Amino acid sequence: MRKILGLIFFVSLCLLLFVFGSQNQHTVEVNYVIAKSSIMVSELMVISLAIGLCIGIAIQAFKKNTKTTTKRSLQND
């Protein structure tokens, strides 16, 4: 049930991102540490979403790996 709700939330978030992205065709200037570029707001939103998803997946994988390692070390003692 929780996976289904997560999937529904993710799909609705993607649809919301698509709607906002199609309405915002303005360009914004993004300053990186060593560079500067002008991209559309919709592209910036997609890039931000992708980075956030990657960070979230990495954190979840780290937590799962830590729990497995802790469980194994407790079983060996």
- Whether 74 has a pLDDT exceeding 60, the answer reads no
Name which of 58, 50, 38 is nearest 14 in CA terms.
Answer: 50
pTM across the whole model: 0.60
**Where do the structural domains in the chain lie, given as residue ranges?**
2-76
Q: List, for residues 15-45, the tens digit of each pLDDT value.
A: 887 787 777 788 889 888 888 999 988 788 8
What DSSP string describes 7-74?
HHHHHHHHHHHHHHHHH---EEEEE-SS-EEEEEHHHHHHHHHHHHHHHHHHHHHHHHHHHHHHHHHH
Name which of 30, 51, 52, 33 is nearest 41 in CA terms.
Answer: 30
- Whether 71 has a pLDDT exceeding 60, the answer reads no
53's tokens: 């998803």
